[in-house]
Structure 1
Amino acid sequence: ESHDWYVRRLAAFARSRPEWFEAWRAAAPQDPGALLVGAQLAVDRVWPSPARAELLREVSPLITAAALADDRDPVPWRIALDHARGSRAGHRYFEELWEAAVRRAPHHYSCHVAALRFLATFQRGSHGACFDFADRAAQDAPADSLAQALPARAALSWLTDGCGPEIPRARLDAAADRALALSARFPAADPWPAPIRNKLLYVLLRLDRWEDARAELRLIGPYATSFPWDRFSDDPLGHFLRLREHLLTAPPGPVPAALLTWSPAPLGEHDGHTPRRRPLG
């Protein structure tokens, strides 16, 4: 998981400092790390384009080269799963990539997230299938695996999508409970689980679980992440701080709608579709 995190950050750095990456690639053209960052960078560059599907086809050789450079590494296969979603590949091809990914790391969280996003994109309205996938992955994974947070991620997708059949409230609560148990395994104010904790906070608020939300807010500490708060404001940190102030000072009750109104994904975010806020009945 750390390897995947570093690849994403290095690719983001390379977008703003291309001369740094070009110097690395020139000095070590066959370096597995350089090939991997290059593949991620290529996907990131074309993702915002309306011609994404066509442009991504040109990126395939870079992903293949990264996968061949280190056959044990699951990260090239996570990139390949993202690539399959962006290029609108068929489900059979997705299954082949997925089998290759889990063969290398059966509980790799980022690969599971990439697969979940593929399913959510090409099975619109089929949130039950996404929940089934996430629940199976969590049940098969160790208790301290980040995969325990996958059902909560499926819950977030359902809560914000605005389409598809109803999901039983008990299933949403069970997803949140799994993520809460995982979060409790980490120290407070730990940057590593911060992305999971920030998403979980949104789910808890949508489920009106105020005390759990306040407790999770304390565990987050200073580590607010851009997602999901960049879906509410172009100042995600400011939005998080306003939400935090409300939770810590207001009496228990619904959060003002303005603080939880979901907006389209920013350019470059690999989320697959534009979600909307779903009312809970």
Structure 2
Amino acid sequence: MPFLHSLVAVSRMMRHTPHIGADLPPDDTVRLDAPDERLAAASTGLLDGDFKPVSELLARTRETAWWEARDRYVGWLAEQHLIAAGRSGPRDAPGRSWLDTWWDADPDDPDLALLHAEIAVRGAWRTGRGHVARLHDAGPQVRTAAEAAPGDPVPWRIALTRARGLRAPREEFDALWAQAVARSPHHYGCHVSALRFLREDPASPPEEYLAFAEDAAERVLPGSLVNALPLIASYEYLLSGGRGADSYIDDAVDRALQLSAWHERGDREPAEVRNVLTQVLILRKRWPEALDQFRAIGIHATSFPWSRTGEPLHEFLEMRTGVRVQLASTVRLTARAGGPYA
């Protein structure tokens, strides 16, 4: 009998998997950490040293207090710079980048200062045992970015990330957090950085960062990304081997599902939240909802959370296929292929 059950299950999967999720974007169209249309258009000339469209876009985010996009844009630009620098290799002659050209044109630009701070801190995290020294060295750049744009919360998100890497005392965290919320009480990036500091603080029990996330989500409007903070906390809790928070996790998932429904499908802004939500749904074996989130994600795979378990794009595509297989295994063998479940 066990052999027969296995044979039926395999037959179900072979029959129905091609039809379940057939409306998902093909594997070769999915992009990892792709920029939105504005940033994609502005960054087309960077390889030729044309920084002006990017500088104008970042200036617009600062002038209009479009902090979530500003944070996302700065992170993407810093990542592209670090990837290009790593690709050149230590033996290559250092070439002039679009950042150098920008520096020559306007060394006091606050948006350039912010980029330098992000590159310094993000790059420091990648140096293994030497990251603490490099994070110390990044201090002046972070301070310069904060002073150059006094109302901008993004330098304080960078400062919180730096403090986490330095294992800063709680008093320093509290001071940085106060500066961040004074500039933008509901900035998603600052909240995520603060959550991660609390999670890694040996003096902070899991109950503290879980409560921090829930309290933050209670204070924001329905479309705010901060509604996803309990989901991020739940994911970190599950990965750390936490047990006994089922009610909290299920409430966090439901809140994140509402947030996802609030945004248009395929929207780049909530893409990272949707990717985390999908992985948590998979961990909770909520297969139909996971498939629906893959539809909402569209082509926008993100490094977090998939990099936690392997090469991110590969993991995203493997998990997407796995969800389709799981759903196919639940369909009757005699059901019409491509039926209402598709």
Q: Verify: 1:24 aligned to 2:91, yes or no.
A: no
Q: Which letter maps to 1:207?
A: R
* Superposed CA offset, 1:139-186 (max 9, x none): 0111111000000000000110125xx343111100111111000011
Find the partner of 1:201 among 278, 287, 300: 278
CA deviation after TM superposition for structure 1 residue 246, in Å:
2.4
Question: Are the aligned partners of 1:14 and 1:20 in contact in 2 as well (CA < 8 Å)?
Answer: no
Q: Distance in 1 between matches of 2:125 and 2:326?
A: 40
SS in 2 for 1:51: helix
The answer for the alignment partner of 1:224 in structure 2 is 301
Q: Which letter maps to 1:12?
A: E
SS in 2 for 1:30: coil
Q: Distance in 1 between matches of 2:310 and 2:173?
A: 34
The answer for the alignment partner of 1:88 in structure 2 is 167
The answer for the alignment partner of 2:72 in structure 1 is 5
TM-score (norm 1): 0.84
Question: Are the aligned partners of 1:36 and 1:66 in contact in 2 as well (CA < 8 Å)?
Answer: yes
* Superposed CA offset, 1:84-115 (max 9, x none): 11111110010000000000000000000000
Structure 1 segment 1-281 matched on structure 2, within 5 A: 1-15=68-82, 16=84, 19-49=97-127, 50-123=129-202, 126-162=205-241, 166-234=243-311, 236-251=312-327
Question: Larger Rg: 1 or 2?
Answer: 2
CA deviation after TM superposition for structure 1 residue 126, in Å:
2.0
* Superposed CA offset, 1:33-61 (max 9, x none): 01000011111222122122222111111
Q: Distance in 2 between matches of 1:253 and 1:83?
A: 46
Count how many residue pairs are aligned between Structure 1 and Structure 2: 251
The answer for the alignment partner of 2:35 in structure 1 is none
When structure 1 is superposed on structure 2, of 50-59 and 144-153 the one drifting more is 50-59
The answer for the alignment partner of 1:266 in structure 2 is none
RMSD: 1.9
Q: Distance in 1 between matches of 2:275 and 2:195?
A: 19
When structure 1 is superposed on structure 2, of 237-246 and 28-37 the one drifting more is 237-246
Question: Are the aligned partners of 1:32 and 1:66 in contact in 2 as well (CA < 8 Å)?
Answer: yes
Q: Distance in 2 between matches of 1:103 and 1:167?
A: 35
TM-score (norm 2): 0.70
Q: Distance in 2 between matches of 1:202 and 1:253?
A: 19
Which structure ranks higher in relative contact order (CA pairs < 8 Å, sequence separation ≥ 6)? 2
Question: Are the aligned partners of 2:222 and 2:262 in contact in 1 as well (CA < 8 Å)?
Answer: no
The answer for the alignment partner of 1:271 in structure 2 is none
